[in-house]
A and B are shown apart, each in its own frame.
Chain A
Amino acid sequence: MMVLEKRAAPSRWWSIGAPLLALGMAVVLGALLFAVLGHAPSRALYVYFVEPLTSAWSLEELAVKATPLMLIGAGLALAYRANVWNIGAEGQLIMGAIAGSAIPILLPGWNDALAMLAMLLLGAAGGAAYAAIPAWLKNRFNTNEILTSLMLVYVAGLFLDWLVRGPWRDPMGFNFPKSVAFDGWHVLPTLTGRVHLGFVLALLAVLILWVIVHHMRAGLAVRVQGIAPRAARFGGFSAPSITLGVMLFSGALAGLAGIGEVAGAIGHLQPSISPGYGFAAIIVAVLGRLSPIGVVFAAFLLALTYLGGEAAQLALNMPAKVAQAFQGLLLFLILAAEVLVHYRIRWRGRAHGAARARQGGGA
């Protein structure tokens, strides 16, 4: 029988090895999945995982897709460290996009560098304010933030839908549900190809996460609260403040990702502005083991699943949902591999026999 034996301290080796093992298993299972779907596994794996890395264009696209994942993932990593399960980042992304878009849509004449800064700030503020709702409800009424933050995703999606079909629809847009196209300072400047300013902000967010977690009292508070709430109270850390703080932080970064998408990658507001980045970022945070550097790698990996999914759709005519199924599978495997960090796996019975033989003389 398989038994788990708690390690005295988490294994350093497996804290790096576990995500890699999960990735390896995901590739193997992915190959199986492709075979079931009727594709030659080697060809499909190449199209999915390798081809996107072979051209400059697709590498840039990888960075574009990694941008929101990194931003949101960094925020969620801090929230999850506090054991605050914000799973409504998708909604916060949408509200950030809406808040930031208010400037190009409502004040089209204000088109300078300051306007762009205001868009970014409004985006972060929109996401933060939306994330503050579940935090406030939790602190005030003890509601479960998982359920409330998720419910608000649906509400945000419907709100955006109403805006772009109603008051914010482009009057010259032939009745298409989209806003006016952003231009000038309303569009984030690009670094190379389609990679925009958001990418720099994402790296900055990861850096800030690192400083908070490893060098600030606030990071200590968050970690203690997440592992041992009673010890946090003993340390004089306030649980409601921590809950609100990490929700504001993760909401702001999700909002920033949202405005980055509409002002960077898309260029206008439309009913659907994210292929589930807010949910994929949950995987980014967990796969990155809630560490700053881990989030960077995981964001690129998840970006690759999106890009690979698109490539597989085009080249192999595979269903679009393959990316989402693969992401779910990946998360399962990470969680399974994660066990190796904290536990040693033993097979009782055999090992037992050895112990018995060793002890036998005493009887």
Chain B
Amino acid sequence: MGETAAEQQPLLEVRGISRVFGTLLANDDVSLAVQAGEIHALLGENGAGKSTLVKIIYGALRPDAGEIRLEGKRVQLQSPAQARKAGIGMVFQHFSLFEPLSVAENIALALDGAHDMAALKQRIGEVSAQYGLPLDADAMVADLSVGERQRVEIVRCLLAEPRIIILDEPTSVLTPQEAQALFATLRQLAAEGRGIIYITHRLEEVRELCERATIMRHGRVVAEIAPADHSAREIARLMVGSEVHDVSAPPMAETGAPVLHVRDLTLPAPGPFAVALYEISLDVRAGEVVGIAGVAGNGQRELFAALSGERLAQNRGAVFIAGHDVSLKDINARRKLGAAFVPEERLGHACVGGMTLLENLLLTRHAVDASVVRRGMIDHAAARVATQRVIDEYDVRNAVPERLAAALSGGNLQKFIMGRALDRRPALLVVNQPTWGVDAGAAALIRQQLIDLARDGAGVLVISQDLDEIFEVADRIAVISRGELSAPRPAAELSREEVGLLMAGAHEARHGTVHAAQT
């Protein structure tokens, strides 16, 4: 193989990487080059192979074929420790942090060499000052906000003095303002001559931040482009491989009576690593979609559990569905009033992966649908008919009622879960992160279903971290921050920046304005 006579030797070059998982070709002959001082975007849908590729670069996975070169020299990375030694650092998407350990301990775990906590704390102070990433080295990670946790990850990565820094979806957990601060740090790092691989699916960010982008689809590289030269729409088409359908939102007709009415709902945190809800008030009226935006970990799960009845309120008069006080009624009583719920996690919460679709249909029907369960006995034939109907009507592919839920792809399973809820023609739908980790086609379909359901006269509440999604579907928008909910406002009157400020806690009554001033 002849060396390409490049005028500039790439800092990192990946050639012909392939990796198989069982029958899945996760990476198929992938090549990528990153120059010093460059912020290089790695784009692709979920399952396109981005995570597999960066895990291989970080030494956490071994490739079946291909090679990695650093400044032209071929390296064999057998472990993350070796990768760190070679100058490759990584900031993980789902933070690889240890909640009950201190910030300093968390950082020590990613560094090799002597175990000297005092010296380490001093270096943490230096680095965080240098890059504007304030941190308390003795704080327990469990007590930190998501943004602070990301700072821990970045400082941890920087302390190893990497030449290559990989960031996996870093802004998915940040407010727009926090994201801007992160971009400033990244530009500073690139200016120092480091190479940065930036994984994301947010196209506007890429156009703003990155000089070049490599786009992956189904495990292969499909294009390498300069993002500034292309529109977001063109880039999206490259990622998805086909035209992405727009969601159409016909104007809202007259809204009806509130189908969900929440008044001063306050609940203590259910565990040491959870969020308390504080005086939440909210109305969702028939015919409208209400969106709740917010950074992950600000009480979304806790709010969903309180609305669904998985967790009961502490007193009467807090939650009403279709005019009935359900504060102390469980989830099935709420379903009987016409409510349906779609939680965030598909496997382990919305569905049981090790059970069939039929059994998973029974999971939400057993108490409210006498045609499938009567006097405690299951009617399998009737349940099978209902499951098949959901599969057929909601375009769940590769599915039969006897198939295990875990065997379906994320998008298809989410279609099944949505179908299971919509099939009962709910008067109220509460859904948490409706398209998290779902392919673009299924995501567009699901968002359209949410709007259509509302226009057919139901009330829909969408909790989502994805601001684009919120603006796409919601008629009114509220923001949750540290367990407090801002007053919902019509979507048409709000800008992303305003919502961003609310996400940073500008409306918080209990925590005061100090926090808002900090961020």
Question: Interface residues, chain A, CB within 8 Å of chain B?
Answer: 5, 8-10, 215-218, 220, 223-224, 227-228, 230-231, 233-236, 344, 352, 355-356, 359-360, 362-363
**Nearest-CB residue, chain A, relative to B354:** A227
Q: Are A224 and B64 in contact (CB under 8 A)?
A: no
Measured CB to CB, the closest approach of chain B to A150, in angstroms, equals 28
Q: In the assembled complex, which residues on chain A have CB atoms less than 8 Å from the CB atom of B350?
A: 231, 234
Q: Are B376 and A217 in contact (CB under 8 A)?
A: yes
Q: In the assembled complex, which residues on chain A have CB atoms less than 8 Å from the CB atom of B364?
A: 234-235
Does B209 sit at the interface, judged by CB under 8 A?
no
Q: Are B65 and A360 in contact (CB under 8 A)?
A: yes
- Interface residue ranges of B15-62 to A (CB < 8 Å): 15-16, 18, 20, 22, 28-29
Expressed in whole angstroms, the Cα–Cα distance for A231 and B335 within the complex equals 15
Q: In the assembled complex, which residues on chain B have CB atoms less than 8 Å from the CB atom of A223?
A: 355
A-B contact pairs, 16 of them (CB 8 A): A5-B22, A217-B366, A220-B366, A224-B355, A227-B354, A230-B349, A231-B350, A231-B352, A234-B331, A234-B341, A234-B349, A234-B350, A236-B366, A362-B16, A363-B65, A363-B67
Q: In the assembled complex, which residues on chain B have CB atoms less than 8 Å from the CB atom of A5?
A: 22
Does B359 sit at the interface, judged by CB under 8 A?
yes
Contact of B404 among A8, A230, A231 (CB under 8 A): A8
Chain A binding site: helix, strand, loop or mixed by DSSP?
Answer: helix
Q: Are A363 and B15 in contact (CB under 8 A)?
A: yes
Q: Are A224 and B377 in contact (CB under 8 A)?
A: no
Q: Are B332 and A362 in contact (CB under 8 A)?
A: no
Number of B residues, CB within 8 Å of A: 43
Expressed in whole angstroms, the Cα–Cα distance for A352 and B330 within the complex equals 52
Expressed in whole angstroms, the Cα–Cα distance for A9 and B354 within the complex equals 8
Expressed in whole angstroms, the Cα–Cα distance for A5 and B24 within the complex equals 12
Q: Are B355 and A227 in contact (CB under 8 A)?
A: yes
Q: In the assembled complex, which residues on chain A have CB atoms less than 8 Å from the CB atom of B20?
A: 355
Expressed in whole angstroms, the Cα–Cα distance for A359 and B66 within the complex equals 9
Does B363 sit at the interface, judged by CB under 8 A?
yes
Q: Are B407 and A352 in contact (CB under 8 A)?
A: no
Contact with A along B306-343 (1 / 0, CB 8 A): 00111000000000000000000011100100000101
**Nearest-CB residue, chain B, relative to A360:** B65
Expressed in whole angstroms, the Cα–Cα distance for A230 and B344 within the complex equals 12
By CB atoms of chain A within 10 A, which of B15, B29, B347, B378 has the most?
B378
Q: In the assembled complex, which residues on chain A have CB atoms less than 8 Å from the CB atom of B309?
A: 236
Q: Are A355 and B378 in contact (CB under 8 A)?
A: no
Measured CB to CB, the closest approach of chain B to A347, in angstroms, equals 14
Contact of A236 among B332, B345, B349 (CB under 8 A): B332
- A216-B378, A217-B366, A363-B16 given as contacts; is B348 within 8 A of A230 (CB)? yes
By CB atoms of chain B within 10 A, which of A8, A217, A352, A359 has the most?
A359
Q: Are A234 and B343 in contact (CB under 8 A)?
A: yes
Expressed in whole angstroms, the Cα–Cα distance for A355 and B347 within the complex equals 31
- Interface residue ranges of B243-272 to A (CB < 8 Å): none
Q: Are B376 and A236 in contact (CB under 8 A)?
A: no
Contact of A8 among B28, B67, B347, B407 (CB under 8 A): B407
Does B124 sit at the interface, judged by CB under 8 A?
no
Q: In the assembled complex, which residues on chain B have CB atoms less than 8 Å from the CB atom of A234?
A: 308, 310, 331, 341, 343, 349-350, 363-364
Expressed in whole angstroms, the Cα–Cα distance for A235 and B335 within the complex equals 10
Q: In the assembled complex, which residues on chain B have CB atoms less than 8 Å from the CB atom of A216?
A: 376-378
Measured CB to CB, the closest approach of chain B to A217, in angstroms, equals 5
Expressed in whole angstroms, the Cα–Cα distance for A216 and B407 within the complex equals 25
Measured CB to CB, the closest approach of chain A to B272, in angstroms, equals 14
Q: Are A215 and B377 in contact (CB under 8 A)?
A: yes
Expressed in whole angstroms, the Cα–Cα distance for A344 and B22 within the complex equals 10
Q: Are A217 and B352 in contact (CB under 8 A)?
A: no
- Interface residue ranges of B85-125 to A (CB < 8 Å): none
New A-B contacts (10) at CB < 8 Å, excluding given A215-B377, A224-B363: A9-B407, A10-B354, A217-B366, A217-B377, A230-B349, A231-B348, A234-B350, A236-B367, A360-B65, A363-B29
Q: In the assembled complex, which residues on chain A have CB atoms less than 8 Å from the CB atom of B378?
A: 215-217, 220
Q: In the assembled complex, which residues on chain A have CB atoms less than 8 Å from the CB atom of B366?
A: 217, 220, 235-236
Does B141 sit at the interface, judged by CB under 8 A?
no
Q: Are B376 and A231 in contact (CB under 8 A)?
A: no
Expressed in whole angstroms, the Cα–Cα distance for A224 and B354 within the complex equals 9
Q: Are B404 and A233 in contact (CB under 8 A)?
A: no
Q: Are B29 and A235 in contact (CB under 8 A)?
A: no
Does B463 sit at the interface, judged by CB under 8 A?
no
Does B159 sit at the interface, judged by CB under 8 A?
no
**Nearest-CB residue, chain A, relative to B378:** A215
Measured CB to CB, the closest approach of chain B to A200, in angstroms, equals 24
Q: Are B64 and A359 in contact (CB under 8 A)?
A: yes
- Interface residue ranges of B341-384 to A (CB < 8 Å): 341, 343, 345, 347-355, 359, 362-364, 366-367, 373, 376-378
Expressed in whole angstroms, the Cα–Cα distance for A184 and B258 within the complex equals 71
Q: In the assembled complex, which residues on chain B have CB atoms less than 8 Å from the CB atom of A363?
A: 15-16, 29, 65-67
Q: In the assembled complex, which residues on chain A have CB atoms less than 8 Å from the CB atom of B330?
A: 236
Q: In the assembled complex, which residues on chain B have CB atoms less than 8 Å from the CB atom of A359?
A: 18, 28-29, 64-65
Q: Are B363 and A362 in contact (CB under 8 A)?
A: no
**Nearest-CB residue, chain B, relative to A216:** B376
- A9-B407, A362-B28 given as contacts; is B363 within 8 A of A231 (CB)? yes
**Nearest-CB residue, chain A, relative to B374:** A217
Expressed in whole angstroms, the Cα–Cα distance for A280 and B88 within the complex equals 54
Q: Are B404 and A235 in contact (CB under 8 A)?
A: no
Q: Are A355 and B22 in contact (CB under 8 A)?
A: no
Expressed in whole angstroms, the Cα–Cα distance for A355 and B63 within the complex equals 10
Does B144 sit at the interface, judged by CB under 8 A?
no
Expressed in whole angstroms, the Cα–Cα distance for A5 and B22 within the complex equals 7
**Nearest-CB residue, chain A, relative to B403:** A9
Measured CB to CB, the closest approach of chain A to B376, in angstroms, equals 5
Does B133 sit at the interface, judged by CB under 8 A?
no
**Nearest-CB residue, chain A, relative to B27:** A359
- A9-B404, A236-B367, A363-B29 given as contacts; is B376 within 8 A of A218 (CB)? yes
**Nearest-CB residue, chain B, relative to A356:** B65
